[in-house]
Structure 1
Amino acid sequence: MNNILTLRGKRFTQEPRKNGISGVKVPANSLIELSHLKAIHQSLLKVRTFWQEINLLDGVLLSAYYNKIIAKSNRISGYLSSTKEIPNDSIVGAKFNADKDKHIITHYVSRELLDNTIVLSENVIHLFNDTFPNGELTDKEFDDKQLFNSLPYEKYHLSKTAFRAILRDSVFIEKFDVEEVSQSEIKNAIVTFYDVNTNIRVLLEKVGIDISTANILDNTTVLLDEKYLNLVYTKIPYLVAMAVEDFSMLSPDDFKIAVEKIEIPIPSPTNEPVIGVIDTLFERDVYFSEWVEYHDMISDDIPKESRDYNHGTAVSSLIVDAPNLNRNLDDGCGRFQVRHFGVALQSGFNSFTIIKQIKEIVSQNTDIKVWNLSLGSNDEIRENFISAEAAVLDEIQFENDVIFIVAGTNSSTGRKKIGTPADSLNSIIVNSVDFENQAASYSRQGIVLSFFMKPDVAYYGGGNGKFINVCEPLGLGQVAGTSFAAPLIARKMAYLIHIMGLSREEAKALLIDSAIGWHRQKSFDNRTLIGNGIVPINIKDILSTSDDEIKFIVFDVSEKYHSYNYDFPVPISNGKHPYVAKATMCYFPKCSRNQGVDYTNTELNLVFGRLSNKKGETIKAINNDAQHFDDAPGYIREDSARNIFRKWDNVKHISETFTPRKQAKTILNTDNPQWGMSVRTIERLRKRDGEGIRFGVVVTLKEINGVNRIDDFIKLAQLRGWLVNQLQVETQVEIYNKLSEEIVFE
């Protein structure tokens, strides 16, 4: 077996975006029609009429209904535009239609801007009608510069830019309208309102709702009881972006009664890494209690039952001592210490309170890098927005160097969608498989926001009549559920970060890459249950690779639009590269819950492959991704870019297929026969959220003839200035122990 390598010492080159001048174009075979321009205009008039009777807000909310899933570059640029702002800056929400094939994007704009847009729309219609008497304009006519340069824009109080922008918008827009949420049966709800630049308490007081500061999460999200919720639905339904039940029942786990007292000898803890656990309560009278620092976050005024200690104690027992409790799942990671925060009872939990508690807990325990969260709601996630709990986890992970391992939640009544907070994108979501590597019968299904692949990975959580051994307050328990698969993954992540010295980005990429292998799950239904695959049991199987493979990890920071490194010296044999390749990248983007289905603010696009000498193509991508090349072949639809190249996803995996018939690759650039990696940063908003975002990439090169060329690669990499380190478990453990020694000064 070969060790995995880390390549350090050669930073990626950073380049700003080159803003080439490109004219406004419409897709091929587009037809701009006068009748459609008039229909859009009428929808704007209807929106204005709606808001004329409502003076609660300074501005107005209106939604643009698109005719497809729209790329950022094809969002409206003529309608709702002014010299002071662009329409993209006024977006406060985004969702898909019922069939999930069209965007509905909500804007908050001034009343003056709406009036100006209506005037602009009317002028465009007049000019179009006078210029194109047949009422139609083809894409070829739209590209006719001479035609558009000759039009009398001043007569219609228009500029050429505004006229063409409105015409182009009409190719993608169906209509404008006002979205109103329908009343639900929810009694107590976490309600998120559209951001309308008004203090949320002041806004709600205007309609007779007086809430305390304790019930406010941020300036758009509040906790409301049934009485106030009815007021909202009656008086201001157009302001509600989303609402979810607050009190959550825990997703059911399969527990068997504790059968015997556990008397496993266990030494005292020394310098082991600490994993944070946020769960139900912990019973101090267990054999491993010295390994757990417990904090009870439930008020003493609330009665606690014995069952409230089962789940949390069981989860912490796996993190501390899983290999002794389950010999068949000995991962080689040893024991871990736990800092356990009891925030929930078995009867259920108040989501709003826990959200606030998690923020406080993480901020006060900055030494903890890996957090286990095996609490999950029995309710299903929503289609068009991320839950408030998951959004807080994503925010915490963007702002802090931590990672959450979250259980994928369970179902006792057939397949259901996963429950919150398993819709957190930055977290690693873990589902269960039984010991025959089949998705457990209780596992629930992703995906999230109709696109993001969750869960991330699967692991052994019991099932099919077989169980995981845990320590409960009364002794040995046998359990099954994603709650008990998650802590076993948390152990591996903590080992990779603390013992092996990897960043969380590298550790997450390596873990997911180990689950994928060379044969990624092709069945969509199976992937919604086990994500990228099943993580190997032993940590050495994650930290090593077969003799015919070279696996290396690179880490860097995106500081500008284009980060690249063209200096990966893949060994050559007989004038060719005898390899197939794959790469997995992870990063932790800032996310915006108020953007709905367009949740991630930043896209990192990964390209890896041989250097090319073809004009406009620096790298021959192993997955043929040419989205950002100068000579990109034609228009790539947004839905295709998302589904094929995982655009906007924070986990990227690109791969070639490996078959015995694979042929060696020719050298494309004889002057520089290296391989290159390119990472391009795309912003959805104009806030530069991607500046300084860190990424980790795991690359695997498989020699098609089975030859071990790792020594050649190491020598070549060192000659080109790379600092190459082999991740050897024994060496890293020794380094960790040395670094953890206390130095006593005399």
Structure 2
Amino acid sequence: MPKIFLPMKVVLARKDLDYRLDPNAGGETKIFEPVTQELRKKYSSEVASLRKEFSASFAEHPTIPAVAKVLLKPEAGAKSYRPGTLFNSETCPIIGVEGPSELLVSVSSEGLRALAYEIEQGQTKKHQANISTLNRLLAFKAKDALEGYSPEYIAKTAKRKNAPIRIRLFRHGVDAVDKLIEQEFKAVARSEALPDLEAVDYGDDVTVYAVKSVTTKSIKALAAFVGTQSIGLFPEFRLVRTAANIVGKLDERRFPSFDPAKEYGLVGVIDSGTDPTNRRLQEYVARRDVVVKTQHDFNHGSFVAGLIANSRALNGADNRFPRAQSRVVDVVAIDASGQISEYDLITVIENAVRDHSDVRVWNLSLGQATPCSDARFSLLACKLDSIAKKRNVLFVIAAGNYETPPLRTWPPENLGENDRICPPADSVRGLTVGSIAHISNQSSCVGIDEPSGFSRRGPAPHFYIKPEVSHYGGNCDETGDCLQCGVVSTDGHGNLAENIGTSFAAPHISNIAANIYRELEPEGNLSPAYVKGLIAHSAFLRSGCPDALDVRYKGFGSPGDVSEILNCTQSSATVIFHAELTDRHFFEKHQFPMPSSLVIPNKGLRAEVFMTLAYDPPTDARFGMEYCRTNLTASLGTVMKNNETGKEVYNPQLRPAPKDVTRGGEARMVSEGFKWSPLKFYYRAFTAGPICKNWRLHLEILNRDGFRCKEPQKLVLLLTIRDPEGKANVYNEMVTEMEKLSWGAQDLRLASRIRVRRRS
């Protein structure tokens, strides 16, 4: 019997009723060790060493500050312990973060004198607390900028590839200072006979130059310049897995013709291009943008585009593949080598998104070979986030393939960091997709719906959830052979072919996302976070509450069809909350209507409750792993009155998924709770839950130390209450109760539903 779908309900925050001032805002002061005269003398001496270390630089570049590293005690990494009393605009201000306990500070001769005074003479409790967080004060040197590579290697490789090198300059957060650093950098380059400098746009908070014709000598000089943060090669990105097994020819059954009367999504594909002689595929190509004019290999791009256009029909009408279909904007950007430099790639992406402004979803089935770092997000990820914010688009990115045999089985063996996701899959605003298997046999690595043996795992830097979701990208044996286990699409010569890879899992999600945008067109200009949240929430509902190991490899699972994502059933009601949070304020819905039909007499509440919180935070690449500058949290709980004090006591009832992380220190909150991740999940299955009529929904905001959000932080919260037995009239009861509470809940407006009403 087909499901009867009912409209999701949308609730907008009421400015005068749902927001309150947070009376508990502010952090604690903690002293980690006794601040003795010996301790003060130790750090004052290290400040003196910094002055000596940078004396030549201050003499040569008197208007240019240097940079020092402040190493903190590991247990002092929390925002509330940040030594802002010592390191401020009057001394040596914090300008960046290099790791969980490593700060970067801007230093001048005068600032170091002032810092030494504060360390030696500061007697307040905050001074003592700040001093007690310190471990070491060190100069940022040329070897730090080289990041483990030798000048000889960089110069030799750049010459062999006839490629520029990438130099990132420090940003001190003061426009006048940052401009002086750029001017002085250009002067150093001229003195090394390097006039060919090109500013490369990576976003507002990053300064990068491409420098050509470098030598070992010039690299040493540029690395030694106090304004240089990093110096190295532009990374190479590649299409993974290009050899497919031919299994037949395209026909109407496996690749239905384009129907002009049908509504399709629209996906931009930046890849190797589609086969221009494949008539069936070209019917689905809305536009073609040829960046690379020669040396084409259309295999990878055709396979990706075929899945976006017709994945279910191509795969034997298997209803686990998306029913939705999309057209593609075909950006032919990668030649037959299958590789492209980041230097060229960012220009291609920037131009494509600008020139095709009607495309809201962009598929990137490519990656770097080197796994992500814990300490910082990749510069390409930061660039994608910058474009996504500026153009209001969603990048759907393949998690990447691990290719070293023997490939992983399931449960997985420990491969260290080797099978971790690769850039740009660490894009915060992007949606990263892992691969799961849809077929298995005796020789395949994994079983059905288990993470494919080649699919790379999370987390992203700072333990952010990546991949967030997964879809079918095929199965294989331990050598990578995928015969009769791959997903099916079309190759670059018009054949029906099978292949494997996260490259071919991502197109399913791109197609779904594009059709969500199409269906929600009546809702107005959607944020990418909204679409991302809808997809992730659907996967969450279908998977239940996956364990931490599953989440690491396949996120929260695979979403349903578009109709399932955007609708409810009678026994499972979803409410979408839109709100905006500002500093020191929180959002609350009092008297949250928990359906009484789910309360079992003499037992208690029996229900499943899911919450997905999604938002696009302000970001700053200067701060490394602290790239995201705001943290939002959600809770749903009960309110009881304390009989002794007469005060209300709020008890959160849901737990962060995949496990409860509300206990423990900052490190555990970050690593297990995905604290600061802009996509969060909460869940609880009640079997004999609290019999309480007073439930409350609570949302709050926390800013990074020293950061204040210039604009209200927009968010979307998807909350589903479900009867585990699928019988109770949860939906009707929720709708009735929300009407009684005057929440102003409205039906989620879908284009297809509006068309049906107009016809009737």
TM norm structure 2: 0.80
What aligned pairs does 1:517-556 form with structure 2 within 5 A after superposition? 517=541, 519-524=544-549, 526-536=550-560, 538-543=561-566, 548-556=571-579
Aligned partner of 1:202 in structure 2 is 183
SS at 2:531's partner residue?
Answer: helix
- Residue 283 in 1 paired to residue 264 in 2? no
Structure 1 residues 21 and 708: alpha-carbon distance in aligned structure 2, compared to 1, 3 A threshold? closer
Aligned partner of 2:719 in structure 1 is 699
CA contact under 8 A between 2:582 and 2:709: conserved in structure 1? no
Aligned partner of 1:422 in structure 2 is 425
Name the CA distance, whole Å, in 1 between partners of 2:348 and 2:449.
36
The AA in structure 1 aligned to 2:545 is R
The AA in structure 2 aligned to 1:599 is Y
Name the CA distance, whole Å, in 2 between partners of 1:724 and 1:81.
47
Structure 1 residues 168 and 201: alpha-carbon distance in aligned structure 2, compared to 1, 3 A threshold? closer
Name the CA distance, whole Å, in 1 between partners of 2:755 and 2:80.
48
The AA in structure 1 aligned to 2:200 is I
1:682-703 deviation per Cα after TM superposition (whole angstroms, max 9, x unaligned): 2226554362332111112234
- Displacement after TM superposition at 1:707 (Å): 3.0
What aligned pairs does 1:42-441 form with structure 2 within 5 A after superposition? 42-54=45-57, 55-56=60-61, 58-68=64-74, 70-81=77-88, 90-96=93-99, 102-124=100-122, 163-180=124-141, 181=144, 182=146, 183-184=148-149, 185-186=153-154, 187-188=157-158, 189-196=165-172, 197-199=177-179, 201-209=182-190, 210=194, 212=196, 214-217=198-201, 220-225=207-212, 227=214, 231-237=218-224, 239-243=227-231, 245-253=233-241, 255-264=243-252, 265-270=256-261, 271-286=263-278, 287-300=280-293, 303-305=294-296, 307=297, 309-326=298-315, 327-329=317-319, 331=321, 333-347=323-337, 348-414=339-405, 415-435=418-438, 436-441=448-453
Aligned partner of 2:30 in structure 1 is 26
Structure 1 residues 225 and 410: alpha-carbon distance in aligned structure 2, compared to 1, 3 A threshold? farther
What aligned pairs does 1:633-652 form with structure 2 within 5 A after superposition? 637-652=665-680
Name the CA distance, whole Å, in 2 between partners of 1:269 and 1:687.
51
1:537-568 deviation per Cα after TM superposition (whole angstroms, max 9, x unaligned): x4444345675433322222334532333253
1:348-387 deviation per Cα after TM superposition (whole angstroms, max 9, x unaligned): 1021222133223223333222221112222322332211
CA contact under 8 A between 1:395 and 1:590: conserved in structure 2? no
CA contact under 8 A between 1:254 and 1:481: conserved in structure 2? no
1:164-197 deviation per Cα after TM superposition (whole angstroms, max 9, x unaligned): 3321112211121113314514434433222143
What aligned pairs does 1:717-728 form with structure 2 within 5 A after superposition? 717-725=738-746
SS at 1:520's partner residue?
Answer: coil
Consecutive unaligned residues of structure 2, counting only runs of 5 or more, are: 159-164, 406-417, 439-447, 477-481, 657-661
Name the CA distance, whole Å, in 1 between partners of 2:680 and 2:11.
21
Structure 1 residues 714 and 110: alpha-carbon distance in aligned structure 2, compared to 1, 3 A threshold? same
Name the CA distance, whole Å, in 1 between partners of 2:135 and 2:169.
25
CA contact under 8 A between 1:14 and 1:558: conserved in structure 2? no
Aligned partner of 1:621 in structure 2 is 652
Structure 1 residues 401 and 11: alpha-carbon distance in aligned structure 2, compared to 1, 3 A threshold? farther
Name the CA distance, whole Å, in 2 between partners of 1:692 and 1:363.
27
1:112-144 deviation per Cα after TM superposition (whole angstroms, max 9, x unaligned): 1211111232334xxxxxxxxxxxxxxxxxxxx
Structure 1 residues 380 and 229: alpha-carbon distance in aligned structure 2, compared to 1, 3 A threshold? farther
Name the CA distance, whole Å, in 2 between partners of 1:332 and 1:71.
43
Aligned partner of 1:150 in structure 2 is none
Name the CA distance, whole Å, in 2 between partners of 1:557 and 1:511.
21
The AA in structure 2 aligned to 1:493 is A
The AA in structure 2 aligned to 1:666 is I
Name the CA distance, whole Å, in 2 between partners of 1:735 and 1:429.
32
- Residue 473 in 1 paired to residue 492 in 2? yes
Name the CA distance, whole Å, in 1 between partners of 2:272 and 2:647.
56
- Displacement after TM superposition at 1:613 (Å): 4.0
Structure 1 residues 42 and 297: alpha-carbon distance in aligned structure 2, compared to 1, 3 A threshold? farther
CA contact under 8 A between 1:80 and 1:109: conserved in structure 2? no
Aligned partner of 2:622 in structure 1 is 594
Name the CA distance, whole Å, in 2 between partners of 1:221 and 1:363.
21
The AA in structure 2 aligned to 1:509 is G
1:54-113 deviation per Cα after TM superposition (whole angstroms, max 9, x unaligned): 13352221111011261222111232335x68x6xx3332122xxxxx510101143312
**C-alpha RMSD over aligned residues:** 3.2
Name the CA distance, whole Å, in 1 between partners of 2:460 and 2:216.
26
Structure 1 residues 506 and 257: alpha-carbon distance in aligned structure 2, compared to 1, 3 A threshold? same
CA contact under 8 A between 1:454 and 1:531: conserved in structure 2? yes
SS at 1:405's partner residue?
Answer: strand
Structure 1 residues 228 and 592: alpha-carbon distance in aligned structure 2, compared to 1, 3 A threshold? farther
The AA in structure 1 aligned to 2:70 is A
1:426-485 deviation per Cα after TM superposition (whole angstroms, max 9, x unaligned): 111001111111211211222222411211111100122311111223122211111111
CA contact under 8 A between 2:269 and 2:362: conserved in structure 1? yes
Name the CA distance, whole Å, in 2 between partners of 1:726 and 1:395.
33
- Displacement after TM superposition at 1:609 (Å): 2.3
Which stretch has the larger CA shift, 474-483 or 381-390?
381-390
Counterpart selection for 2:530 from 506, 515, 529: 506
Percent identity of paired positions between Structure 1 and Structure 2 = 19
The AA in structure 2 aligned to 1:276 is G
Structure 1 residues 26 and 606: alpha-carbon distance in aligned structure 2, compared to 1, 3 A threshold? same
1:496-530 deviation per Cα after TM superposition (whole angstroms, max 9, x unaligned): 23214564433322321232346433244x43221
- Displacement after TM superposition at 1:242 (Å): 3.9
SS at 1:207's partner residue?
Answer: helix
Name the CA distance, whole Å, in 2 between partners of 1:583 and 1:198.
43
Name the CA distance, whole Å, in 2 between partners of 1:618 and 1:230.
67
SS at 1:490's partner residue?
Answer: helix
TM norm structure 1: 0.81
Consecutive unaligned residues of structure 1, counting only runs of 5 or more, are: 97-101, 125-159, 626-632, 668-672, 741-746
1:655-688 deviation per Cα after TM superposition (whole angstroms, max 9, x unaligned): 2245xxx213132xxxxx4433222222226554
The AA in structure 2 aligned to 1:554 is F
Name the CA distance, whole Å, in 2 between partners of 1:737 and 1:725.
18
SS at 1:711's partner residue?
Answer: helix
Aligned partner of 1:579 in structure 2 is 607
- Displacement after TM superposition at 1:623 (Å): 3.7
Which stretch has the larger CA shift, 641-650 or 219-228?
219-228
- Displacement after TM superposition at 1:240 (Å): 4.0
- Displacement after TM superposition at 1:333 (Å): 3.7
- Count the aligned residue pairs: 669
1:229-256 deviation per Cα after TM superposition (whole angstroms, max 9, x unaligned): 7634455345443456425141521532
The AA in structure 1 aligned to 2:739 is Q
Structure 1 residues 331 and 444: alpha-carbon distance in aligned structure 2, compared to 1, 3 A threshold? closer
CA contact under 8 A between 1:611 and 1:676: conserved in structure 2? yes
Which stretch has the larger CA shift, 265-274 or 421-430?
265-274
SS at 1:733's partner residue?
Answer: helix
